[in-house]
């Protein structure tokens, strides 16, 4: 029977590993469809940002209560999953609580810590469910359809998994005095409160319940790992590389287009360096015109809505939502990846910057204030995507608003947004001189 259990466990592990590898490979290929950009500079600063923002969750603590709740889930997720190592070893070797005899009292202390964290995760998940569905938090209540269901579903799954751990430990403690197969571990504080529920059960029923909870938890963890690759909760893993590769130059600085900079230098007689290769497109029309960092941002998006809540355009009733920008970018690059996988044309379907995804109205509403970038807890940059879309509209399609086109023309001919010759630029000062006289 033990061999059957081991074979079943290895089979489950292999299936989960296969699907997880497939999804990771697919996401990596989709991100690599973006244009190349160098983010290998200032490694010290990048590691510092990763430690403070991704690991330390520095930007989350702008709002204390949700930050503490999120921290409890985050720490619980990291520490409790250390126990999964024992699950895997037990599953492969056909043992039970393999570390208990070696660690002794330290093992009891460790499991009690895991249970304490499991309870904190339970409390936090319930609180987040209430915030999402009962309390009036506009940025959370505004989600509809799958994004809303996804957020609720993951919280419910985490609650069930935590109960599975406590159930397993409660029945295990009861079996330690009835079945020699169960190693003596000492008392577990939190799961002991569940023991009265199972005290009247037979040994066979207890074994079944304990094994069911064990299998449910390990299969749940493996299924969860695969599921998050389809979910916004992919940020659990993506937050770290996303923060590392985020831009570290001042956010107000807009990157010049190399093609335009080279052309201007050539016109001014300056050394422009080697002429660029043939320019396929100015700005971005579709997701593949963006950089791989932009696409990684899209997959890392937590859909928390903090960016949209801080966006002045959105606050004043404009159509723009930075959260939607990131979700649309992720949906479109996923569609392109699926097209390639299916042997279709990559461009099949509506481009990213179109009415089916990100409309011109949304792009034109942006004030370029960087509020969304500042608000994001993992340094996602929706503005960079917006600017690339607007550059395409202005330089390739000439479809910017009429007032903008007039301003562009004035800048080109008069070197100022207003339509008067450069020679008249300081005439306003003549009046001041006259007044002084």
What is the mean predicted confidence (pLDDT) over 42-51? 93
pLDDT score recorded for residue 279: 62
* Statement to judge: residues 85 and 226 lie in one domain: yes
pLDDT score recorded for residue 290: 94
* Statement to judge: residues 315 and 220 lie in one domain: no
Answer whether residue 80 is part of any domain.
yes
Indicate the pLDDT class of residue 389, thresholds 50, 70 and 90. very high
* Statement to judge: residues 314 and 401 lie in one domain: yes
Instruction: Count up the domains in the chain and report the number.
Output: 2
* Statement to judge: residues 301 and 409 lie in one domain: yes
Last-in-domain residue among 230, 246, 268: 230
Last-in-domain residue among 163, 197, 230: 230
Is 60 exceeded by the pLDDT of residue 1? no
* Statement to judge: residues 296 and 171 lie in one domain: no
pLDDT score recorded for residue 243: 95
* Statement to judge: residues 221 and 289 lie in one domain: no
What is the mean predicted confidence (pLDDT) over 392-403? 85
* Statement to judge: residues 211 and 337 lie in one domain: no
26-30, 364-368, 432-436: the lowest-pLDDT one: 432-436
Answer whether residue 95 is part of any domain.
yes
Answer whether residue 1 is part of any domain.
no
The backbone torsions φ and ψ at residue 251, rounded to the nearest 5 degrees and listed phi first, read -65, -25
CATH of residue 401's domain is: 1.10.1060
Contacts of residue 293, Cβ cutoff 8 Å, sequence gap at least 6: 34, 37, 39, 245, 246, 247
Is 70 exceeded by the pLDDT of residue 190? yes
What is the mean predicted confidence (pLDDT) over 292-313? 93
* Statement to judge: residues 191 and 119 lie in one domain: yes
Is 70 exceeded by the pLDDT of residue 93? yes
pLDDT score recorded for residue 132: 86
Answer whether residue 51 is part of any domain.
no
pLDDT score recorded for residue 381: 94
* Statement to judge: residues 182 and 312 lie in one domain: no
**194 is in which domain, residue-wise?**
59-230
pLDDT score recorded for residue 272: 63
Answer whether residue 27 is part of any domain.
no
Tokens of 177: 């005095």
Is 90 exceeded by the pLDDT of residue 263? no
* Statement to judge: residues 111 and 214 lie in one domain: yes
Answer whether residue 273 is part of any domain.
no
What is the share, in percent, of the chain residues with pLDDT greater than 90? Answer: 44
Quote the mean pLDDT of the chain. Answer: 88
* Statement to judge: residues 225 and 355 lie in one domain: no
Answer whether residue 69 is part of any domain.
yes
Dihedral over alpha carbons 336, 339, 344, 346 (to 10 degrees)? 10
SS (H, E, C) the chain: CHHHHHHHHHHHHHHHHHHHHHHHHHHHHHHCCCECCCCCCCHHHHHHHHHHHHHCCHHHHHCHHHHHHHHHHHHHHHHHCHHHHHHHHHHHHCCCCCCHHHHCHHHHHHHHHHHHHHHHHHHHHHHHHHHHHCCCCHHHHCCCHHHHHHHHHHHHHHHHHHHHHHHHHHHHHHHCCCCCCCCCCCCCCCHHHHHHHHCCCCHHHHHHHHHHHHHHHHHHHHHHHHHHHHCHHHHHHHHHHHHHCCCCCCCCCCCCCHHHHHHHHHHCCCCCCCCCCCCCCCCCCCHHHCEHHHHHHHHHCCCCCHHHHHCHHHHCCCCCCHHHHHHHHHHHHHHHHHHHHCCCCCCCCCCCCCCCCCCHHHHHHCCCCCHHHHHCCCCCCHHHHHHHHHHHHHHHHCCCCHHHHHHHHHHHHHCCCCCCCHHHCCHHHHHHHHHHC
* Statement to judge: residues 65 and 187 lie in one domain: yes
What is the mean predicted confidence (pLDDT) over 294-304? 94
- Answer whether 36's CB lies under 8 Å from 360's CB: no
Answer whether residue 186 is part of any domain.
yes
């Amino acid at each position: 029977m033990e061999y059957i259990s081991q074979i079943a466990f290895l089979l489950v592990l292999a299936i989960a590993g296969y699907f997880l590898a497939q999804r990771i490979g697919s996401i990596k290929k989709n991100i690599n469809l973006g244009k190349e950009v160098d983010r290998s500079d200032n490694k010290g600063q990048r590691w510092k940002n990763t430690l403070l923002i991704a690991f330390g969750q520095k930007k989350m603590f702008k709002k204390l209560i949700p930050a503490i709740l999120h921290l409890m889930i985050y720490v619980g997720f990291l520490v409790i999953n250390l126990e999964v190592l024992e699950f895997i070893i037990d599953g492969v070797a056909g043992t039970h609580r393999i570390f208990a005899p070696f660690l002794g009292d330290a093992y009891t202390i460790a499991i009690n810590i895991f249970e304490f964290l499991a309870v904190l995760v339970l409390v936090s998940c319930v609180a987040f469910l209430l915030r999402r569905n009962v309390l009036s938090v506009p940025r959370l209540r505004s989600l509809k359809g799958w994004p809303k269901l996804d957020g609720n579903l993951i919280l419910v799954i985490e609650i069930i998994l935590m109960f599975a751990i406590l159930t397993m430990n409660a029945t295990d403690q009861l079996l330690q005095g009835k079945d020699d197969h169960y190693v003596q571990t000492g008392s577990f504080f939190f799961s002991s409160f569940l023991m009265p529920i199972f005290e009247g059960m037979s040994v066979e029923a207890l074994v079944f319940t304990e094994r069911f909870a064990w299998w449910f938890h390990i299969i749940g963890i493996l299924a969860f790992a695969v599921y998050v690759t389809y979910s916004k909760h992919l940020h659990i893993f993506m937050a770290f590389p996303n923060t590392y590769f985020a831009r570290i130059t001042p956010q107000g600085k807009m990157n010049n287009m190399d093609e335009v900079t080279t052309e201007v230098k050539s016109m001014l007689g300056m050394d422009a360096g080697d002429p660029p290769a043939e320019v396929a497109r100015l700005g971005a029309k579709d997701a593949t015109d963006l950089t791989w960092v932009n696409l990684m941002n899209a997959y890392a998006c937590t859909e928390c809505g903090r960016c949209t809540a801080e966006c002045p355009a959105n606050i004043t009733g404009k159509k723009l939502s930075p959260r939607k920008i990131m979700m649309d970018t992720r949906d479109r690059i996923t569609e392109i990846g699926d097209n390639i996988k299916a042997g279709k044309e990559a461009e099949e379907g509506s481009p990213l910057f179109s009415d089916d995804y990100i409309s011109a109205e949304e792009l034109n509403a942006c004030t370029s204030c960087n509020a969304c970038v500042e608000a994001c807890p993992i340094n996602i940059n929706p503005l960079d995507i917006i600017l690339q879309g607007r550059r395409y509209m202005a330089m390739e399609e000439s479809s910017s608003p009429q007032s903008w086109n007039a301003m562009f023309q004035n800048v080109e001919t008069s070197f100022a947004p207003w339509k008067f010759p450069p020679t008249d630029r300081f005439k306003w000062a003549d009046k001041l001189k006259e007044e002084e006289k």
